[in-house]
């Protein structure tokens, strides 16, 4: 493996970060899992030290787009980009859809797809993860941006989950739109899965030496050159993350590592650069690090960035990476507080390794912004017990939080109840 430069996490709008920080044709593989315009507010559920779900739910991001000045500006940027096909298509969509939420979502995606095409190497690939809500519109945008002849696959990620009461067939799949920078000559590693039962019986001894994982195996063969596996097709049956799985971080749209491992194994080699511009809880960068790739992650919420920092350090203690865009001194911290008090709050909580508590609803958290769990020896029982310390982030005149206004007797009782 060649010398690896530092990996990067960027806090900020991915459009601005791409333009400022990512050079032309510098990325081997792009995976993006953008918000689906499902008109839902997603929250992160954190767990208590005993594994039980905490009542601390944080609104992570709002999966809703509205036609406003920002959407109009994104539309105008596509017009000025010089890509006439992309703009003609976007303009036709606007004529069909009108100035509504879906059109705002598509304008936001179009201007970013142009930047992603710019940073992708000639041999590179892009996988756009979406669901049927907007996959048909997004494929048209990708055809206009990358060229319809550069479309490789519509991969169906099939999974099982608890069915819901419905008057239609159960919706249990997502789509992955796979495009390359050029029509042919792109990097691709054929992955294989287990052979048919008859082949397994025939090659039983040889197959004992091969482990077929969810990520697939790259061309296992017999000494005679006969392939032991079957080339993967475009329908992938990979389980979603179970509610009780250790892999689950509580992030609402978290994808399984096995899914990202398969994508990265197929369309990159060790040492290549993997980019995720909507990195959320960081599954793509986790899989990239696991497979020996370099990586770049971008997210617009500090909650996601701090979650990824912890995730990567826990999974890979020796990992090195830089975090850009977060406060590095008093002036930049003050600037963040002025621009977005909630992002500042989440950043401040992460600085003391606390779990965020509460959300964007004013007064809902009672002045508690984070919790720190720690173990201490209980003199009465002689056992180690878990306690909680409260973190409160305040600005301005630093008003007294409501949890500290109780009487001393009530506060002591509350502290005793917090031990578990």
> Cβ(369)–Cβ(350) under 8 Å?
no
Measured CA to CA, the distance from residue 317 to residue 335 in angstroms comes to: 32
Among residues 123, 97, 93, the alpha carbon closest in space to that of 110 is found at 93
Q: Is the pTM of this model over 0.85?
A: no
Measured CA to CA, the distance from residue 332 to residue 329 in angstroms comes to: 6
- 370 DSSP β-pair partners: 356, 391
- Pick the residue with more confidence: 374 or 39? 374
The mean predicted confidence, pLDDT, of the chain is: 78
DSSP string for 224-277: TS-BSSEE--SEEE-PPPPTT-TT--S-TT---HHHHHHHHHHH--TT-EEEET
Question: What is the pLDDT averaged over residues 20-33?
Answer: 96
Q: Spell out the residues 6+ positions from residue 19 whose beta carbon is closer than 8 angstroms to its own.
A: 115
Give the range with max mean pLDDT: 214-228, 302-316, 373-387.
Answer: 302-316
Q: Residue with structure tokens 């001393």?
A: 408
Indicate the pLDDT class of residue 49, thresholds 50, 70 and 90.
very low
> Cβ(74)–Cβ(108) under 8 Å?
yes
CATH architecture of 7-190+232-326: 3-Layer(aba) Sandwich (3.40)
Structure tokens at 260: 């990202």
3-state secondary structure of 28: strand
> Cβ(420)–Cβ(50) under 8 Å?
yes
Report which secondary-structure segment, H or E, holds 9.
strand 7-11
pLDDT tens across 56-87, in order? 444 444 545 788 999 999 999 999 999 999 99
- Pick the residue with more confidence: 234 or 324? 234
pLDDT tens across 167-206, in order? 888 888 999 999 999 888 899 998 887 776 776 666 666 6
Task: Please give the pLDDT value at position 25.
Answer: 96
3-state secondary structure of 175: strand
Question: What is the pLDDT averaged over residues 23-43?
Answer: 77
Indicate the pLDDT class of residue 140, thresholds 50, 70 and 90.
very high
Among residues 366, 365, 349, the alpha carbon closest in space to that of 406 is found at 366
Positions of E strands within 91-194: 120-130, 151-158, 173-180, 191-193
| Residue 359, pLDDT above cutoff 80 | no
DSSP state of 180: E
The CA–CA distances, whole Å, from 124 to 2, 257, 328 equal 18, 21, 34
Measured CA to CA, the distance from residue 277 to residue 11 in angstroms comes to: 10
Measured CA to CA, the distance from residue 71 to residue 249 in angstroms comes to: 32
CA 314, chain centre distance (Å): 17
Measured CA to CA, the distance from residue 106 to residue 365 in angstroms comes to: 35
| Residue 211, pLDDT above cutoff 90 | no
Percent of the chain with pLDDT over 70: 63
Half-sphere exposure at residue 101, Cβ-oriented, CA atoms within 13 angstroms: 12
Burial of 347 (0-12, 13-18, 19+ CB in 10 A): buried
Cα–Cα–Cα angle for 93, 181, 188, nearest 5°?
125
Strands 235-237, 355-356: parallel, antiparallel or unpaired by DSSP? unpaired
Task: Please give the pLDDT value at position 242.
Answer: 80
The residues spanned by each domain of the chain are: 7-190+232-326, 332-418
């Amino acid at each position: 493996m060649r010398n690896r430069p530092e990996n990067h996490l960027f806090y900020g709008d991915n459009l601005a970060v791409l333009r400022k920080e990512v050079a032309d044709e510098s990325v081997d593989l792009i995976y993006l899992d953008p918000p689906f315009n499902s008109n839902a507010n997603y929250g992160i559920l954190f767990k208590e030290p005993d594994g039980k779900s905490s009542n601390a739910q944080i609104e992570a991001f709002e999966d809703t787009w509205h036609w406003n000045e920002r959407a109009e500006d994104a539309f105008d940027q596509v017009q000025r980009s010089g890509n006439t096909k992309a703009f003609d298509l976007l303009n036709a969509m606007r004529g069909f859809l009108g100035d509504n939420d879906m059109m705002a979502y598509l304008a936001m995606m179009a201007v970013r797809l142009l930047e992603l095409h710019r940073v992708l190497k000639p041999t590179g690939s892009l996988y756009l993860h979406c669901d049927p809500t907007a996959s048909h519109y997004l494929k048209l945008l990708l055809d206009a941006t990358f060229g319809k002849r550069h479309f490789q696959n519509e991969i169906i990620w099939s999974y099982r989950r608890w069915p819901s009461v419905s008057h239609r067939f159960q919706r249990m799949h997502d789509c992955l739109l796979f495009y390359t920078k050029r029509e042919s000559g792109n990097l691709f590693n054929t992955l294989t899965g287990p052979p048919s039962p008859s082949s397994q019986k025939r090659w039983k001894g040889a197959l004992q030496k091969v482990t077929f994982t969810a990520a697939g195996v790259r061309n296992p063969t017999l000494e005679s050159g006969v392939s032991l596996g079957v080339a993967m097709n475009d329908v992938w049956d990979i389980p979603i993350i179970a509610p009780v799985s250790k892999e689950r971080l509580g992030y609402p749209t978290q994808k399984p590592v096995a899914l990202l491992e398969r994508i990265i194994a197929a369309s990159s080699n060790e040492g290549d650069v993997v980019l995720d511009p909507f990195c959320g809880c960081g599954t793509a960068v986790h899989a990239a690090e696991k497979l020996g790739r370099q990586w770049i992650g971008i997210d617009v919420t500090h909650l996601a960035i701090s979650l990824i920092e912890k995730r990567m350090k826990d999974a890979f203690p020796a990992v090195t990476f830089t975090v850009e865009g977060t406060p590095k001194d008093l002036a930049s911290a003050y600037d963040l507080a002025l621009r977005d008090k909630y992002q500042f709050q989440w950043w401040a909580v992460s600085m003391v390794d606390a779990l965020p508590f509460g959300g964007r609803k004013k007064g809902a958290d009672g002045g508690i912004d984070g919790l720190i769990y720690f173990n201490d020896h209980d003199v009465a029982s002689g056992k180690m017990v878990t306690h909680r310390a409260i973190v409160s982030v305040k600005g301005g005149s630093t008003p007294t939080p409501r949890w500290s206004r109780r009487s001393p007797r009530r506060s002591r009782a509350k502290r005793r109840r917090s031990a578990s």
